[in-house]
A and B are shown apart, each in its own frame.
Chain A
Amino acid sequence: MVEAEKQERIVFSRPKALTDTTTHYCPGCIHGIVHRLIAEAIDELGIQDRTIGIAPVGCSVLAYHYFDVDFAEAAHGRAPAMATGLKRVQPDKIVFTYQGDGDLAAIGTNEIIHAVNRGENITTFFINNAIYGMTGGQMAPTTLPGQVTTSTPFGRDVRAAGYPLRVCELMATLAGAAYVVRRTAINPREIRRLKKAIITAFKVQMAGLGYSLVEVVSNCPTNWGMTPIESLEWIEKNMLPYYPLGDFKVAEGVENL
């Protein structure tokens, strides 16, 4: 009896950096997983009391309710500019943006490119679900060729709508980028790898090495018209070939963190 009590140990609980709130995310949506991993990373690094998050416009617009850290809500696409302002005046704080593909790769392309290029010590978590989730499933800059959305009802015709943007490949060309990687969250192994990347990204910022960006190839079962399981299979089959997982920029010094 006494032995059993001694052995009792909490092995799973809500991270401190997450609030005790029900999220509004659809069942099976990867946004929730990424939130949890970021919160775990904040806990493990002990930075909850000096982290400031910036929510985008998109399905994760209410992220500030879910994280238990100081938070601002930016205009659509402007999170990296806002983060720049916040970070420049308090360089000792950890500042991260959380952005969707419409937010980061369409309306906010200018802000992200220049923030990365300046080598701001900021971390961005980029949720690429190849669609505008919040507004009901229109084409995103990352929508795949032929993919049907409400604004590409006959499938994305690249001759008319251009080609899906590969954000990591683009950002990796910028000198200010210190850590640019693409991960996903379609199975426990990938989730563990994603978590490691999130921790590394924060460490890059803490070490002042430059911009860190973690892209998460994500899903939107609701607007893709799939079950959560189907959406994970769809990621593997259709998205990963176009958006290969991997490390696109790992600047000097990052390996030793």
Chain B
Amino acid sequence: MSSKILMKGNEAIAESAIRAGCQAYFGYPITPQTEVLEYMARRMPQLGRVFLQAESELAAINMLYGAACAGVRAMTSTSSPGFSLMQEGISYIACSMVPAVVVNVMRGGPGLGNIQPSQADYSQMTKGGGHGDYKVLTLAPSTIQELVDHVGLAFDLADEYRQVVFVIADGMLGQMMEPVELPEMRELRPPPAWALTGAKGRPKNIITSLYLNAPELERVNQELQAVYRRIEANEVRYDTYLLEDAEIAVVAYGTAARIARTAIRRAREAGIRVGLFRPITVYPFPYEALAEVAGRVQEMLVVEMSAGQMLEDVRMATCCRVPIRFFGKMGGVVPLPEDILVEIEALAQGKPALVAQEGA
């Protein structure tokens, strides 16, 4: 039984990856994620594993692709502008079905934006992002403990589905400190049979994403879609808080959910029956579970640190069965519990629910 230690989110990401058997890390400095890179720079060589600071995120993702082709557990981490650069490589990795882990510690955008926490890469992460028909299993932690757990889980899920897996975090999670319990150091696993390890005593292996023949590429796409259906059937995760008797459901993930919890606690103290629905996987999104919630609450409040990207998934899940109010902060502005409380109170007082965009 290991005891808890105080850790910064970004360092917890790195240490968790190491303990999950990450054998190679490639990255490029970008705030608010850089401590992952710096931690890896110290720890990986000590363990005889690979750390390499790439010349760009384009190079980092392709180095990751190469290491993943060699069949080792490998990871990169970045923040929003760097994540955009990685889209090319992620599309190739998805098509060639090699496992890999990418952590995005999101910051304010678009453009160079700023270095404050944001959730504005939701669509890019959950709907494909790069070219072609692919999707990426995306885990959305809301505490540093969960960040630790999700990084380990991401490696396991990547192996299981032979796909790239994302952890969607933000500058708040990356930068703050919390007590965490770290998992035990795991054994490194041997490379799978498909890996490029040299054709010794076996026919050669090829890893490609090129299929010039259209029906053949269609078959590959069907294979990918079958993987996504399996992921959708088996990997949906979500959490609820005080939702059993709730008349109002707040829907939020990650840091926004964490702040919403505080607001919900206060609203409960004021006698408002409100609870939280928190997607833990944002792809696959918990459509069915949320649809069920929509059938028993009177209103919903969607809170995001974006202009309303997850909002589209909530709308799809609830099919207009319940009025939805939206509260979003953009550009790296983090909502305060008081802000969310005001929204909850407005709903409780029978103010009409509306999909309003808060001009932050």
Contacts and interface: CB of A to CB of B under 8 A. Distances in A.
Interface of A: 48-52, 54-55, 61-62, 64, 67-75, 78, 81-90, 93, 110-111, 113-114
A71 B58 CA distance: 21
Contacts of A93: 197-198
B67 interface: yes
Contact of B23 (A89, A111, A113): A89
Contact of A71 (B50, B62, B63, B204): B204
Q: Which of B58, B197, B204, B205 has the most CB of A within 10 A?
A: B204
Contact of B69 (A51, A55, A85, A88): A85
A55 B92 CA distance: 14
- Secondary structure class of chain A's binding surface, majority of residues: helix
Interface in B180-205: 196-201, 204-205
Interface stretch (B147-155, B206-214, B297-305, B307-315): B206-214
A110 B56 contact: yes
B204 A69 contact: yes
Contacts of A113: 55
Nearest to B92: A75
Given A61-B210, A70-B205, A82 B62 contact: yes
B63 A84 contact: yes
B88 interface: yes
A87 to B, nearest CB: 8
B54 A81 contact: yes
A64 B208 contact: yes
A55 B207 CA distance: 10
B70 interface: yes
A177 to B, nearest CB: 16
A85 B209 contact: no
B277 interface: no
Q: Which of B52, B54, B208, B210 has the most CB of A within 10 A?
A: B208
B66 A48 contact: no
Contacts of B52: 84, 88
A85 B204 contact: no
B89 interface: yes
- Secondary structure class of chain B's binding surface, majority of residues: mixed
A85 B70 contact: yes
Interface string B1-40: 0000000000000000000000110100000000000000
Q: Please give me the 3 A-B residue pairs with the lowest Cβ-Cβ distance, nearest first.
A: A85-B66, A81-B62, A82-B66
B70 A89 contact: yes
B62 A49 contact: no
B207 A72 contact: yes
Contacts of B69: 72, 82, 85-86
B206 to A, nearest CB: 5
B122 interface: no
Contacts of B56: 110
A35 to B, nearest CB: 15
A72 B204 contact: no
Contacts of B206: 64, 70-73
Contact of B63 (A49, A67, A85): A85
B196 A52 contact: yes
Given A67-B204, A85-B63, A111-B55, 13 more contacts: A49-B201, A70-B197, A73-B209, A81-B62, A85-B66, A85-B70, A85-B74, A89-B72, A89-B74, A93-B198, A110-B59, A113-B55, A114-B54
B61 to A, nearest CB: 8
A98 B48 CA distance: 30
Interface string B69-98: 110101000000000000011001000100
Contacts of A72: 66, 69, 196, 206-208
B35 to A, nearest CB: 22
B204 A70 contact: yes
A88 B74 CA distance: 12
Given A78-B62, A82-B63, A88 B198 contact: no
B55 A86 contact: no
A52 B54 CA distance: 21
B106 interface: no
